[in-house]
Amino acid sequence: MSAEPLLEVTDLKKHFPVRRGAMQRQTGSVRAVDGVSFGLERGETLGLVGESGCGKTTTARAVLCLTRPSSGRIVFDGVDVGQATARELRALRPRMQMVFQDSYSSLNPRRSVGRSIVEPLLQHTKLTRLERDERVAELLNLVGLDPALATRMPHEFSGGQRQRVGIARALALRPDLIVCDEPISSLDISIQAQIVTLLADIQDRFGLAYLFISHDLRMVRHLCDRVAVMHQGRIVETQPTERLFGKPEHPYTRALLSAVPRRPGRAS
């Protein structure tokens, strides 16, 4: 692995003000993220797990510059995101993409899926129309969909197919990092396994990194190289995946893993 992480997050905090009264004066704050630190290597998958409301998605949004942190430092490929110029941020954003939990709401219902996939190419490249069409066809093939489906609307697809479209869109600009925010939670179990396998195959082919947020610890174990456990806005434990599942150190991690049903024939 590279000596310099692709992504390095140090003491990240995001506090939301609590306001009350007719004048909406601030009376306190909610510490959604409260001192989170982690690194992510090129080509690595880091799982981020924890109960709902522990700060996983807020952390991801801060990493992608979708929300401004209260404090802390985010360095992507050597660039301090908090100190970056507008031009530097514009150059970085195509390299950091996201696959959303709700595949339906993440796609414009009034646009064909091909149009949704091509949108990043329109914003960030100078490809000709023919080159864009070829890239869309290539991406649909990559995620296991017929390129002829590019003209279809989102409601004409199943949930698993829409998530494949979301993955294709995230890959359009050839990113170095994809944040997967609960990408399989709304899918049937059989489809979940297919999507996780697809993500693994794409990573093997292109060497990109994933920050994989999920409640499904079985899928996390299958896909991730390391796992970070969040609790009440903080990371309480980070370990290589098999070590964390085999010998968890923090009481919260042990409690989290104890709730996972054991698979027949495999020790926990």
Cβ pair 217, 256 in contact under 8 A: yes
**C-alpha–C-alpha distance, residues 17 and 25, integer Å:** 9
Which residue blocks in 172-247 are alpha helix, DSSP H? 189-206, 217-223, 241-246
Lowest mean pLDDT among 24-38, 143-157, 179-193: 24-38
Cβ pair 169, 119 in contact under 8 A: yes
Percent of the chain surpassing pLDDT 90? 75
Q: What are phi and psi for residue 122, nearest 5 degrees?
A: -65, -35
Cβ pair 62, 33 in contact under 8 A: yes
Q: Tell me the CATH architecture of domain 7-105+176-258.
A: 3-Layer(aba) Sandwich (3.40)
Q: What are phi and psi for residue 104, nearest 5 degrees?
A: -75, -50
Asked whether the predicted pLDDT for residue 175 surpasses 60, the reply is yes
Q: Which residues contact 44 (CB under 8 A, 6 or more apart)?
A: 1, 6, 209, 210, 225, 226
Q: Please report how many Cα atoms fall inside a 13 Å half-sphere around the Cα of residue 221, on the Cβ side.
A: 13
Task: Pull the structure tokens for residue 154.
Answer: 């989102």
Task: Pull the structure tokens for residue 241.
Answer: 């995946």
pLDDT tens profile 94-103: 999 999 988 8
Coil, helix or strand at residue 198: helix
pLDDT tens profile 86-138: 888 889 999 999 999 888 888 999 999 999 999 999 999 999 999 999 999 99
Lowest mean pLDDT among 138-147, 223-232, 257-266: 257-266
**C-alpha–C-alpha distance, residues 147 and 134, integer Å:** 9
- pLDDT given for residue 23 in this prediction: 64
- Helix (H) or strand (E) holding 228, with range, is strand 226-231
- pLDDT given for residue 217 in this prediction: 92
- pLDDT given for residue 6 in this prediction: 97
What's the longest Cα–Cα distance across the chain? 61
Q: At what angle do helices 129-142 and 113-124 cross, to 10 degrees?
A: 120
- pLDDT given for residue 143 in this prediction: 97
The answer to whether the Cα torsion of 260, 221, 96, 89 is positive or negative is positive
Asked whether the predicted pLDDT for residue 215 surpasses 50, the reply is yes
- pLDDT given for residue 53 in this prediction: 86
What are the beta bridge partners of residue 226? 46, 240
Asked whether the predicted pLDDT for residue 266 surpasses 70, the reply is no
**C-alpha–C-alpha distance, residues 120 and 173, integer Å:** 7
What would the mean pLDDT of 160-177 be, rounded to a whole number? 96
Cβ pair 180, 202 in contact under 8 A: no
Residue 267: pLDDT band by 50, 70, 90 thresholds?
Answer: very low
Is pTM beyond 0.85? Reply is: yes
- Helix (H) or strand (E) holding 62, with range, is helix 56-63
pLDDT tens profile 59-78: 999 999 899 999 999 999 99
List, edge to edge, every strand of the sheet that includes 177-181.
96-99, 177-181, 209-213, 45-49, 226-231, 234-240
